[in-house]
C-alpha cells in the first residue's frame, strides 16, 4: 500500500494543474459549508425567535378571545404535570384604531402579565429605547401600551382601541421589536387587566373577566422534550374531571404557533441543500476528467510498471489513491477556509458595501445569520471525499486493464 500511495503522489504532483484542481475542490467545499451555514442560520433564527416570543407550549381556546374562564385554575392543573416549569396567562384579540395620520388600522392586542411573562418568554429583550416594564403598563391618567416597532405611532400619543365589545383609550409609552413580522407590524402590548377590560367588560362583571384569558404560555424544564410534555398535558386536560372545565383546548408548541414562517425557512434550507448536492455532482466530473486524462498521459509509466511485475490490483490502487488524496487534501484546506469565510462573511459584505437583503424588502435581516450545523458539515465532507474516490474508480479500472505489450507496440 505504501508503494502505491507513493506512486499516486508522484503522479498527482508532477503537474501544477493538479494543484489547481485541488484548490478548486477546496474552494467548492468552502462554498458548500458557507452556503449551508447561511441557509441553516435563517431557519435556526426563525425557530429561535419563535421559541423566545411564544415560549415552549401555548394552551388556548381557538374560538373565543376570553375562552379560558379561570386561567389560574388552568395554570394550577398544568403546574402538576411533570416537566412544566412556569406558566403565564395572556389575552389576544383584534382591534381597530387610527394612527397619527388618521388612517384606520387593524391591530392585535396582546395582554400580558409582565412579571410572569418574562419567566416564560424573552420579551424583555425586545424592549426598545430603554423602555421600562412593567412601568410602561401602569395606569396613570391613561392605560399604557407598547406598540410593535413597525407601527407608525408616536410615543405619548393617545390611541382609542375599538372592539365589538367596546373601546378603550391607551397611551403609547414605547416600542417593542420581537423579530416576528405580525407582532412588530400589528402588535399592541398592554397589561393583562387592560386587555381583560377591553374584551370582557361589556359581557361580564369585573369579578368574572378578571379571571379570564385567551390562554397560557408554558416554559418547560431543561432536559424535557416539548412533545413529551405536550402529550402529558393533553392526557391531563382531557381527563374526565378536567374536560368539563377546559373544553376543546389547543396545546401547541412554538413551532405550531408560528408554523408558516418556520416551515418556509426550513423549506428554503432543503432547497439549498438540493442545490448543494448538485454542486457535489459537478465536483464528480471535475475530478473524473483530470484523472481520466492522467491515465492517458501515464500510459508509458503504466506499461513500465506492468512490465516490472505490477499487478492489476496495484495499479487500481494507485489511481484510486489519487482520488483519495484529492478529497483528503481538499478537505484539509477547504474546511478551515469555509469556516473562516462563513464567520467573516458579514464583514466582507460590509467591506464591499453590498447588502444582499435590503431592509425595505426583507424584515429584520440586518446581517446574514451564520449557524454551523455540525451534521451537515460532516455530511458535506463525507460526500466530497466519497465522490472524489468514486470519480477515480473508472479511470483506475481502465488503467489496471492496460496491456503493456499493446502500449509498447503503439510506441
Question: What would the pLDDT profile of 192-212 be if each residue is shown by its tens digit?
Answer: 888 888 888 778 888 888 889
- Cα first-last separation, the chain: 30
DSSP β-ladder status, 215-220 and 57-60: antiparallel
State the Cα–Cα distance between residues 189 and 109, nearest whole angstrom: 6
Residue 407, pLDDT score:
56
Does 7 have pLDDT greater than 50?
A: yes
Contact 372, 339 (CB under 8 A): yes
Distances (CA, A) of 321 to 20, 297, 312, 381: 18, 17, 14, 17
Instruction: With a cut of 90, say whether residue 217 has pLDDT above it.
Output: yes
Give 95's pLDDT tier (boundaries 50, 70, 90).
confident
Q: What is the pLDDT of residue 386?
A: 85
The set of cell numbers assigned to 260 is 408558516
User: What mean pLDDT value characterizes the chain?
Assistant: 80
- Residue 290 vs residue 268, higher pLDDT: 268
Task: Encode 169-198: b = buried (16+ Cβ within 10 Å), e = exposed.
Answer: ebbbbbbbbbbbeebbbbbbbbbbbbbbbb
pLDDT at 244: 44
Q: Are 376 and 36 in contact (CB under 8 A)?
A: yes
What is the pLDDT confidence band of residue 58, given thresholds at 50, 70 and 90? very high
For the record, the C-alpha cell of 390 comes out as 468514486
Q: Say if residue 141's pLDDT is above 50.
A: no
pLDDT at 299: 64
Above 80 in pLDDT, residue 134?
A: no
pLDDT digits (tens, 9 = 90+) for 68-81: 888 999 999 999 89
C-alpha R_g of the chain = 32
Highest-confidence segment of 147-161, 221-235, 277-291, 319-333: 221-235
What is the structure's pLDDT at 241?
46
Output the CA angle 115-121-126, nearest 5 degrees: 90
Domain ranges of the chain: 2-48+261-410, 62-248
Picking from 40, 6, 30, 12, the residue whose alpha carbon sits closest to that of residue 283 is 30
In sequence order, what are the beta bridge partners of 176?
A: 127, 148
What pLDDT digit, counting tens, does each position of 335-366 carry? 999 999 999 988 888 888 887 777 666 777 77
- Asked if pLDDT for residue 89 goes beyond 90, the answer is yes
Average pLDDT over residues 214-221: 92
Amino acid at each position: 500500500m505504501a508503494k502505491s500511495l507513493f506512486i499516486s503522489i508522484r503522479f498527482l504532483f508532477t503537474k501544477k494543474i493538479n494543484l489547481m484542481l485541488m484548490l478548486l475542490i477546496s474552494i467548492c467545499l468552502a462554498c458548500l459549508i458557507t452556503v449551508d451555514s447561511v441557509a441553516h442560520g435563517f431557519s435556526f433564527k426563525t425557530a429561535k425567535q419563535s421559541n423566545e416570543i411564544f415560549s415552549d407550549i401555548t394552551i388556548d381556546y381557538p374560538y373565543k378571545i376570553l375562552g379560558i374562564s379561570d386561567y389560574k385554575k388552568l395554570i394550577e392543573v398544568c403546574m402538576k404535570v411533570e416537566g412544566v416549569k412556569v406558566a403565564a396567562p395572556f389575552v389576544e384579540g383584534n382591534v381597530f384604531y387610527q394612527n397619527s395620520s388618521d388612517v384606520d388600522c387593524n391591530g392585535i392586542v396582546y395582554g400580558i402579565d409582565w412579571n410572569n411573562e418574562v419567566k416564560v418568554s424573552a420579551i424583555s429583550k425586545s424592549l426598545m429605547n430603554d423602555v421600562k416594564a412593567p412601568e410602561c403598563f401602569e395606569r396613570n391618567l391613561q392605560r399604557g401600551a407598547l406598540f410593535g416597532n413597525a407601527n407608525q405611532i408616536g410615543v405619548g400619543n393617545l390611541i382609542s382601541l375599538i372592539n365589538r365589545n367596546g373601546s378603550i383609550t391607551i397611551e403609547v409609552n414605547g416600542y417593542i421589536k420581537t423579530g416576528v413580522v405580525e407582532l412588530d407590524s400589528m402588535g399592541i402590548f398592554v397589561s393583562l387587566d387592560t386587555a381583560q377590560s377591553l374584551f370582557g367588560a361589556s359581557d361580564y362583571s369585573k369579578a368574572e373577566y378578571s379571571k379570564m384569558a385567551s390562554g397560557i404560555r408554558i416554559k418547560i424544564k431543561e432536559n424535557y422534550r416539548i412533545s413529551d410534555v405536550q402529550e402529558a398535558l393533553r392526557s391531563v386536560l382531557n381527563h374526565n374531571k378536567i374536560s368539563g372545565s377546559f373544553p376543546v383546548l389547543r396545546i401547541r408548541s412554538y413551532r405550531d404557533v408560528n408554523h408558516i414562517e418556520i416551515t418556509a425557512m426550513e423549506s428554503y434550507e432543503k432547497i439549498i441543500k438540493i442545490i448543494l448536492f448538485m454542486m457535489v455532482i459537478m465536483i464528480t466530473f471535475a475530478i473524473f476528467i483530470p484523472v481520466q486524462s492522467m491515465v492517458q498521459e501515464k500510459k508509458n509509466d503504466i506499461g513500465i510498471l506492468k512490465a516490472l511485475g505490477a499487478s492489476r490490483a496495484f495499479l487500481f490502487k494507485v489511481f484510486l489513491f489519487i482520488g483519495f488524496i484529492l478529497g483528503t487534501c481538499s478537505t484539509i484546506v477547504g474546511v478551515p477556509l469555509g469556516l473562516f469565510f462563513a464567520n467573516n462573511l458579514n464583514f466582507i459584505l460590509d467591506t464591499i458595501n453590498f447588502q444582499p437583503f435590503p431592509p425595505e424588502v426583507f424584515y429584520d435581516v440586518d446581517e446574514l445569520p451564520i449557524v454551523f450545523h455540525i451534521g451537515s458539515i460532516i455530511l458535506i465532507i463525507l460526500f466530497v471525499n466519497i465522490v472524489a474516490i468514486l470519480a477515480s474508480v473508472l479511470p483506475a479500472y481502465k488503467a489496471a486493464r492496460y496491456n503493456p505489450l499493446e502500449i509498447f507496440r503503439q510506441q
